[in-house]
Amino acid sequence: MQFLVTGYDGKDEKAIERRLAYRDEHLALAASMAKENKFLCAAALVDEKDQMIGSVLMVDFPSRKELDNWLAIEPYIKGNVWESVDVKPCKVSPIFMK
């Protein structure tokens, strides 16, 4: 089952520092998930000043429970980077799949 995950960073003055502190760990987890075909694509959300303010991810898990298990270990959640997370089921068009 595919999901669109949108994580919105905190708005406090330390938000970008937290994001950068956990970024390598977040990207390493994403890379390992991509090898398992669980991480389909992602992008950073940016504001009008091109500052990162969140993330959009398309992921593929057998169930919502397994997605929630990933969220429980996601560095941006554990590190309080994402202030809120929105999850919606989706279907990625076959033309974008490997």
Higher pLDDT, 97 or 51: 51
Q: Encode pLDDT of 29-58 as tens digits.
A: 999 999 999 999 999 999 999 999 999 999
Are β-strands 82-90 and 39-46 bridged in parallel, bridged antiparallel, or unpaired?
unpaired
Q: Is the pTM of this model over 0.75?
A: yes
Cα 82 from Cα 78, distance rounded (Å): 9
Neighbour count for residue 58 (Cβ, 10 Å): 16
Which two three-digit tokens encode residue 57? 């991810």
User: What pLDDT shows up at residue 98?
Assistant: 64
- Kindly list the distances between the CA atom of residue 95 and the CA atoms of 3, 67, 91, 92, 98, in Å, as whole numbers in the listed order: 17, 23, 11, 8, 8
Q: What's the rounded mean pLDDT across residues 51-67?
A: 96
Q: What's the rounded mean pLDDT across residues 22-29?
A: 96
